[in-house]
């Protein structure tokens, strides 16, 4: 493949992966679980002991039964190519869920792995990392940013070395303390 063809392929791949990610959110919001499972490779690992579309469908159904409405807004998306047919990505989403009497908002980051098969980009894996999750009547301030029983603890941004290094700086600590005292 010549240089121009490789560059065009890369651009088309970036667009296809971004479309895949956007389509994932729409499939969840529309509860199109059959199409959603087909966005993953057939042998996708679901748990330590389960894999495949059937196991994925069962897991997704159990998650979707917990809330009636959801809305996924897809944001920043960075894709790193391993080779022409494999990539990894991180993507921000703002997600909202109707959960009983609550309207829960979440700031999340997906950690993805992608593979191209027969010319089509698919997920090989997808992990969700939470910035925050709480009812819209609350603010996700303070250390307890996840206040929704369905979601795990906040992992982002404190998981990043750069974030921890920034806030370890004495000037940053002093600025944060002064800001909080103003409030």
CATH of the domain at 45: 3.10.450.50
148: confidence class by pLDDT, cuts 50, 70, 90: confident
Whether the predicted pLDDT of 2 surpasses 60: yes
150: confidence class by pLDDT, cuts 50, 70, 90: low
Residue 29 region, left (φ>0) first, then alpha (ψ -120 to 50), else beta?
alpha
Whether the predicted pLDDT of 10 surpasses 90: yes
Number of domains in the chain: 1
What would the mean pLDDT of 52-80 be, rounded to a whole number? 94
Range of the domain at 94: 3-152
pLDDT of residue 70: 92
Specify if 176 maps to a domain: no
Specify if 165 maps to a domain: no
Specify if 168 maps to a domain: no
Give the span between the Cα atoms of 38 and 57, in whole angstroms. 10
Specify if 52 maps to a domain: yes
Specify if 181 maps to a domain: no
Specify if 103 maps to a domain: yes
Give the span between the Cα atoms of 51 and 49, in whole angstroms. 7
Token match 């679901």: residue? 46
Specify if 37 maps to a domain: yes
170: confidence class by pLDDT, cuts 50, 70, 90: confident
176: confidence class by pLDDT, cuts 50, 70, 90: low
pLDDT of residue 161: 80
Specify if 162 maps to a domain: no
How confident is the prediction for the chain on average, in pLDDT? 89
Least Cα distance to 63 among 114, 92, 27, 39 occurs for 27
What would the mean pLDDT of 82-102 be, rounded to a whole number? 95
Using CA atoms, how far residue 76 sits from 69, 92, 109, 180, in Å, is 23, 5, 9, 28
List, for residues 20-50, the tens digit of each pLDDT value. 999 999 999 999 999 999 999 999 999 999 9
């Amino acid at each position: 493949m010549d240089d121009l063809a490789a560059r065009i392929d890369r651009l088309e791949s970036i667009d296809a992966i971004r479309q895949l990610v956007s389509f994932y959110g729409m499939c969840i919001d529309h509860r199109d679980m059959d199409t959603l499972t087909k966005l993953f490779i057939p042998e996708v690992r679901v748990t330590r002991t389960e894999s495949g579309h059937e196991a994925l469908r069962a897991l997704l159904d159990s998650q979707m039964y917990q809330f009636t409405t959801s809305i996924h807004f897809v944001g920043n998306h960075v894709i790193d190519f391993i080779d022409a047919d494999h990539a990894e990505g991180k993507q921000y989403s703002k997600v909202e869920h109707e959960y009983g009497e609550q309207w829960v908002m979440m700031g999340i980051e997906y950690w993805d792995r992608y593979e191209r098969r027969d010319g089509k980009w698919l997920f090989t894996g997808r992990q969700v990392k939470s910035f925050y999750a709480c009812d819209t009547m609350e603010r996700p301030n303070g250390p307890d940013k996840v206040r929704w029983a369905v979601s795990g603890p906040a992992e982002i941004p404190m998981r990043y070395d750069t974030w921890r290094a920034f806030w370890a700086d004495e000037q940053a600590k002093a600025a944060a303390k002064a800001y909080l005292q103003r409030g």
